[in-house]
Amino acid sequence: MSNNRTFTMIKPDAVQDGHIGNIIHDITNAGFKIVAMKLTQLSSVKAGEFYAIHKERPFYGELVEFMSSGPIVAAVLEKENAVADFRTLIGTTNPADAAEGTIRAKYARSIGENAVHGSDSDENAAIESSFHFSGVETF
């Protein structure tokens, strides 16, 4: 995948709290085009695979349990400089430190239950997009 796509999830906290519509609004308002999207739920096995890179971190078990606790919205987004611009739009991992107006500042509950995922590199954006979507589901 080129540098114009990134992968996101609206996490279980934000789905539960009724923020799907507002978050999609913020994303499209910021100039991202949705090229794949679905409401789904991760099993604990799939959540563990998705976050395998964090296996050694102390919060891994909590993260896997949280990410499989309820429905999520998975999506692939397109925009020039997508990965970096989307990280700016969502704000820092801990919403207490996130810049005003960012998605995490507005909608996250805590550092763990932080409303949205955003890929951290073009390579991971491609891996994470194909983890969730097949070719015919991506436009």
> By CB under 6 A, how many residues form the interface with ligand IDP?
10
d(CA 13, CA 33): 24
- CB-wise, 25 or 121, nearer to Mg ion? 121
- The reply on whether position 84 binds ligand IDP by CB under 6 A is no
* Strands 5-10 and 33-40, sheet pairing: unpaired
| Minimum CB–partner distance for residue 135 and ligand IDP (Å) | 26
Known catalytic membership, residue 25: no
- CB-wise, 53 or 139, nearer to ligand IDP? 53
88: its two tokens: 């700016």
Q: Which of 8, 68, 102, 114 binds ligand IDP (CB under 6 A)?
A: 114
Of the candidates 71, 92, 68, 67, which has an alpha carbon nearest to the alpha carbon of residue 17?
71
Q: Which of 111, 124, 126, 127 binds ligand IDP (CB under 6 A)?
A: 111
Instruction: Name beta bridge partners: 75.
Output: 8, 37
Quick one: 24 exposed, middle or buried, by C-beta within 10 A (0-12, 13-18, 19+)? middle
Catalytic choice (19, 25, 54, 117): 117
| Minimum CB–partner distance for residue 42 and ligand IDP (Å) | 13
d(CA 87, CA 77): 12
What is the contact surface with ligand IDP in residues (CB under 6 A)?
Answer: 54, 59, 62-63, 93, 111-112, 114, 117, 120
